[in-house]
Amino acid sequence: MMNVPSPPSLELLRQIVVDASRALDLEDQVDCIVRHVHQAVQVAVCSLYLVDSQQQQLRLISTIGLNPEVAGRLQLPIDKGLVGTIASSQLPLMLDHASRHPEYQYFPQSGEQAFEAFLGVPIVYMGDTLGVLVLQDAPPRRFSYEDEAFLVTVSAQLAGSLLAWTQAPTPRTADSKIPRRINGIKGAPGVAVGQLHIIDSTIRVSAIDNPMLTEPEGELSRFHAAVALTLEELTDAHHRLQSLVSDEVLEVFDFYKLMLVSEELTSAPEQRIRNGESASSALSGCVEACAQTFENMLDPYFRARAEDVRHLGCKLSNALLGACASLPADSTDIVLTGELIGITDIAQYAPEQLAGIICMQGSALSHTALLACGLGIPAVMGTGTITGLMEGAAVAVDGHRGFVDLNPSPLLLKEIQQAILQQRGNEQQFQAVIDQPAETLDGFQVRLLANISLLADIDAGLARGAEGVGLCRSEFTFMVHPNFPSEEEQYQNYRHLLESYYPRPVTIRTLDIGGDKPLPYFPFQEENPGLGWRGIRFSLDNRPIFMTQLRAMIRASAGCRNLQILLPMVSRVDEVTDTLMLLDIAMEQLQQQGLALDRPKLGIMVEVPAAISLLQFFAPHIDFISIGSNDLSQYLLALDRNNARVSSRFDHLHPAVLHTLVSLLEQAKRLKLQVCLCGEMASDPLAVVLLLGMGIKELSMSSFNLPKIKLLIRNLKQGEARQWLQQALLLDHEKKIRALLTSALKERELGHLLSFGGPSG
Ligand code: PEP
Ligand code: MG
């Protein structure tokens, strides 16, 4: 009787995952998995195959038991043979007589004819097959179901980390000229091609452990000189950018300066120097401690500040070491690339020298992203560490979609360059329609409005033909502020916005924090933030904050009369009636102060399904509705809009969303409510076709997308949009709907409007 080993334990599984995660490169990791599994299951052969999706093949990467010579060389068709069958079906396969299976193929070079018992499981990540893990034994026998379960668990656990390696060639095998695509987060919109300029910030902060060079006094004066130099650089950079970006973006420099004189980055290193450490080592210790404090905070905005601390640390240590990271003064097409790119790195160059920015550890909330947006430089953030980079290598940055292409192949480069040309060509067409009405060929008029987050967006909206502001997300001003902004500070902001757009309407949404938009200085943790203390719920529970905001808005509208107030996340009628009561109080208080005021129009976001069901009860209290298609899709489909695992399923063209919108618009028409749509749908040309068909008259989107959508509307008939809508409503899948509309637009020679999406609306 054969000795069947007992099933591998959970502890062993944990050990494999831990060891594999410590691997230095892909080959190391794959060898580690194969070694562990081979030992745990005690079989003759354990092998791991990885999918080469470009070649449509499976490659044997590591084996124990087969001829080791073939590892790295044996390639199998992706859908043939036993391994191919597993890869294409994504199902495990267990056989006691492998050679009797119709798909069995014999590869003499592998020496595998001697093995009959076969168990293979696919390695799948987010629906894609990455590889296949195979066990084989000589005598015909069935593996146990415990072995199968173990293999399936190992594969599932390791899929994520294998993916990371397969996306990034490793030092052992890397040819630094190999084209590869690296995904990140959208930082600032635009597409560009340029040359890598690597800012090696992390090394400069952390790898410093200079021995004491002089007495503490000498070290202290070196440190103080470095602080003074950094301060000077910040002031210079501030001046250089003054005429190029808004005051709000420039405030970032003040934040940096404040940090530079903070206790953590000045007194603490001084103390350590007095205690005998070198200036460099004291600085690096304090920078790391301070960055870690930020990193440990729950709040994403504060966590993002760790980037700023580390960046300042780099600047200081550069100043200490007399290092200089800048390129020749006349370089162009520079793509600044590094673990951390700080605002002062950007400010070293004239904006026209910079083609793009790749910030490996950055977040979309970082000051780097903010500045890149302000300067119009495409940026991709949060790619994670990218290995094998070479100074000067060609790179394409796609800030619209959030990825970079390193060493793009001539073909891809051509495509990207065509896309850039197309973008420029489009831009010329866009400029031509900026002052034209958004009117279809058969005379249906749509009002196109801008979505605004920060004061920095005001001018862009006006320059790109916005007929008003459909959504001012007031929470962004709260998010970039160090504490709750005072009534006066808010008043100044709102006044500037209302005056800039006067007499066009401006819809300011009351604070919509919570969910994916937390406030740095008011942190709270929730199990399920998407369903928690969000929007109007938060405001009504924090009346002093709400009243301050309402008063500031109403005061700002004095004499302008173009303010409309919008309430987010409304799901109950009393949320509106309570707000109306507070509005009355605020109006009365201000009138008593002698201000002549008009009552602003009040509307609600329709983004929680409950608001649709209750629309008839809301109608008597409100003047308009604004459809938040992002949250409405999220809550209708029960899909978290920020969860990467389900993001491929998130689509506002899902049939359920479309049917809901059709009946919502019919209801709103009956109730004579003015309707705007201000979610991402308004920027998606395919969605806009359907919204036209539904008869929507107002759309609000990021300023970037305004001319594109206008051009689309001006080249369509509403009549044909209505027909496409009827056809789309008969389809049961968003992919079919997209296909239908894509071919319709291509037939009208409007396909070029589909290729580049702008930043989130
Ligand atoms: C929406 O939900 O569609 C919307 C416009 O609001 P936000 O994206 O700010 O949640
Ligand atoms: Mg919303």
What CATH number should be reported for the domain holding residue 227?
A: 1.10.274.10
Question: Are residues 447 and 409 part of one domain?
Answer: no
CB 709 within 8 A of CB 715: no
Final residue of a domain: which of 115, 146, 167? 167
Overall number of domains in the chain: 3
Question: Are residues 201 and 99 part of one domain?
Answer: no
Question: Are residues 468 and 385 part of one domain?
Answer: no
Q: In which domain, by residue range, is 457 found?
A: 439-754
Is 602 inside a domain boundary?
A: yes
Q: What is the DSSP letter of 246?
A: -
Q: What is the DSSP letter of 445?
A: B
Question: Using one digit for the tens of pLDDT, what is the confidence trace for 375-418?
Answer: 778 999 888 878 767 778 889 998 877 889 888 888 888 888 88
Helical ranges in 623-673 per DSSP H: 629-637, 655-670
Question: Are residues 730 and 654 part of one domain?
Answer: yes
Burial of 623 (C-beta count, 10 Å sphere; 0-12/13-18/19+): middle
Question: Which amino acid residue places its CA nearest to atom 10 of ligand 1?
Answer: 631
Say if ligand 1 is within 6 A of residue 629 CB.
yes
* pLDDT reported for residue 681: 95
Question: Which amino acid residue places its CA nearest to atom 9 of ligand 1?
Answer: 473
**Quick one: which of 372, 339, 327, 343 has its CA closest to 192?**
372
Question: Are residues 336 and 367 part of one domain?
Answer: yes
Q: What is the 3-state secondary structure (H, E, C) of 506-530?
A: EEEECCCCECCECCCCCCCCCCCHH
Is 433 inside a domain boundary?
A: no
Q: Which pairs count as long-range contacts for 312-315, CB under 8 Å and 24+ apart, including other chains?
A: 312/230, 312/256, 312/259, 312/260, 312/265, 312/287, 312/342, 313/205, 313/265, 313/283, 313/284, 313/287, 313/288, 314/201, 314/202, 314/204, 314/205, 314/340, 314/342, 315/230, 315/233, 315/342, 315/344
CA–CA separation, 184 and 402 (whole Å): 5
Say if ligand 1 is within 6 A of residue 608 CB.
no
Residues (pLDDT < 50) of the chain are 1-5, 169-176, 202-210, 756-761
Atom number in ligand 1 closest to CA 471: 5
Burial of 712 (C-beta count, 10 Å sphere; 0-12/13-18/19+): buried
Question: Which amino acid residue places its CA nearest to atom 3 of ligand 1?
Answer: 628
Is 605 inside a domain boundary?
A: yes
Is 552 inside a domain boundary?
A: yes
* pLDDT reported for residue 278: 80
In 481-623, where do the E strands start and end?
506-509, 563-567, 601-606
3 state SS of 413 = helix
- Give this prediction's pTM: 0.70
Dihedral (Cα; 579, 582, 588, 591), 10-degree rounding: -70
Say if ligand 1 is within 6 A of residue 474 CB.
no
Q: Which amino acid is at 614?
A: L
Say if ligand 1 is within 6 A of residue 345 CB.
no
Say if ligand 1 is within 6 A of residue 741 CB.
no
Final residue of a domain: which of 140, 167, 194? 167
Is 761 inside a domain boundary?
A: no
Q: Residue 95: what are its φ and ψ, rounded to 5°? A: -135, 140
Is 41 inside a domain boundary?
A: yes
CA–CA separation, 590 and 195 (whole Å): 57
- The two structure tokens encoding residue 649: 């399923």
Give 632 Cα–ligand 1 centroid separation in angstroms: 8
CB 510 within 8 A of CB 566: yes
3 state SS of 244 = coil
Residue of 36, 367, 400, 654 marked active site: 367
Say if ligand 1 is within 6 A of residue 348 CB.
no
Say if ligand 1 is within 6 A of residue 535 CB.
no
Question: Are residues 185 and 152 part of one domain?
Answer: no
Question: Are residues 248 and 355 part of one domain?
Answer: yes
Question: Which amino acid residue places its CA nearest to atom 6 of ligand 1?
Answer: 628
Is 3 inside a domain boundary?
A: no
- The string over 126-137, giving b where at least 16 C-beta atoms fall within 10 Å of a residue's C-beta and e elsewhere, is eeebbbbbbbbb
Question: Are residues 360 and 325 part of one domain?
Answer: yes
- The two structure tokens encoding residue 500: 């800039």
Say if ligand 1 is within 6 A of residue 678 CB.
yes
Say if ligand 1 is within 6 A of residue 631 CB.
yes
CATH (domain of 449): 3.20.20.60
Burial of 668 (C-beta count, 10 Å sphere; 0-12/13-18/19+): buried
Atom number in ligand 1 closest to CA 634: 2
Say if ligand 1 is within 6 A of residue 626 CB.
no
* pLDDT reported for residue 1: 38
* pLDDT reported for residue 165: 63
Question: Are residues 526 and 486 part of one domain?
Answer: yes
Pocket test for ligand 1, best of 631, 642, 699 (most atoms within 8 A of CB): 631
Helical ranges in 77-178 per DSSP H: 81-89, 145-167
**Quick one: which of 169, 162, 130, 759 has its CA closest to 406?**
169
User: In angstroms, what CA-CA distances link 592 with 63, 301, 495, 586, 596?
Assistant: 83, 39, 20, 10, 9
Residue with token string 């329709």: 606
Atom number in ligand 1 closest to CA 607: 2
Give 546 Cα–ligand 2 centroid separation in angstroms: 18
User: In angstroms, what CA-CA distances link 57 with 20, 136, 156?
Assistant: 24, 21, 21
CA angle 404, 410, 412 (to 5 degrees): 45
Across-strand partners of 452? 472
Question: Are residues 447 and 334 part of one domain?
Answer: no
Give 384 Cα–ligand 1 centroid separation in angstroms: 28
Pocket test for ligand 1, best of 479, 509, 510, 512 (most atoms within 8 A of CB): 512
Question: Which amino acid residue places its CA nearest to atom 1 of ligand 1?
Answer: 628
**Quick one: which of 305, 315, 216 has its CA closest to 269?**
216
Give 188 Cα–ligand 2 centroid separation in angstroms: 21
Q: Judge whether 560 counts as a catalytic residue.
A: no
Question: Are residues 352 and 489 part of one domain?
Answer: no
- The two structure tokens encoding residue 200: 């090696």
User: In angstroms, what CA-CA distances link 502 with 466, 551, 558, 674?
Assistant: 12, 19, 12, 20
Q: Judge whether 286 counts as a catalytic residue.
A: no
CATH (domain of 152): 3.30.450.40
* pLDDT reported for residue 41: 86
Q: What is the DSSP letter of 557?
A: T
CA–CA separation, 347 and 337 (whole Å): 14
CA–CA separation, 491 and 512 (whole Å): 18
- The two structure tokens encoding residue 310: 């580390």
Final residue of a domain: which of 112, 140, 167? 167
CB atoms inside a 10 Å sphere around CB 397: 28
Is 760 inside a domain boundary?
A: no
CA–CA separation, 480 and 293 (whole Å): 19
Question: Are residues 446 and 410 part of one domain?
Answer: no
